Amino acid sequence: GAVVSQHPSWVICKSGTSVKIECRSLDFQATTMFWYRQFPKQSLMLMATSNEGSKATYEQGVEKDKFLINHASLTLSTLTVTSAHPEDSSFYICSAKRVGLTTNEKLFFGSGTQLSVL
């Protein structure tokens, strides 16, 4: 089956630093990738939709200058948490939609990144 690799799986950083999270589709092309945030014991909240070669679409309430998304190729999207603060600590998950399919039937998820900001 299709594989989405997310890296790193966990990261600890100091407050004020920036952290980059990568999401790669390993064996398929993904024109669209999604970034979610999950707080402990809560659901996934969609942060933004990342489209290859164009600007990301952010959900209401998500600061685009805080969470920079780049989708430079059909297999890679990155999320950079800029000037991270403790309230940014969370579990971040990406998902990728296979090219050529119009439904979310073929939406594949990465294994997530646990970010802890000290």
Partner 1 sequence: GEDVEQSLFLSVREGDSSVINCTYTDSSSTYLYWYKQEPGAGLQLLTYIFSNMDMKQDQRLTVLLNKKDKHLSLRIADTQTGDSAIYFCAVPSGGYNKLIFGAGTRLAVHP
Give the shortest CB-106-to-partner 1 separation in angstroms.
9
Q: Provide φ and ψ at 87, rounded to 5°.
A: -70, -10
Contact 91, 114 (CB under 8 A): yes
Strands 113-117 and 57-58: unpaired
Give the helix/strand (H/E) hosting 49.
strand 44-51
Give the shortest CB-86-to-partner 1 separation in angstroms.
20
Question: Which residues contact partner 1 by CB under 8 A?
Answer: 4, 6, 32, 34, 41-44, 46, 49, 93, 95, 97, 102-105, 107-112, 114
- Which of 76, 74, 116 minimizes the C-alpha distance to 99? 74
DSSP character at residue 17:
-
The smaller minimum CB distance to partner 1, of residues 82 and 89, is found at 89
The smaller minimum CB distance to partner 1, of residues 82 and 114, is found at 114
Give the shortest CB-83-to-partner 1 separation in angstroms.
26
The smaller minimum CB distance to partner 1, of residues 13 and 107, is found at 107
Give the shortest CB-73-to-partner 1 separation in angstroms.
19
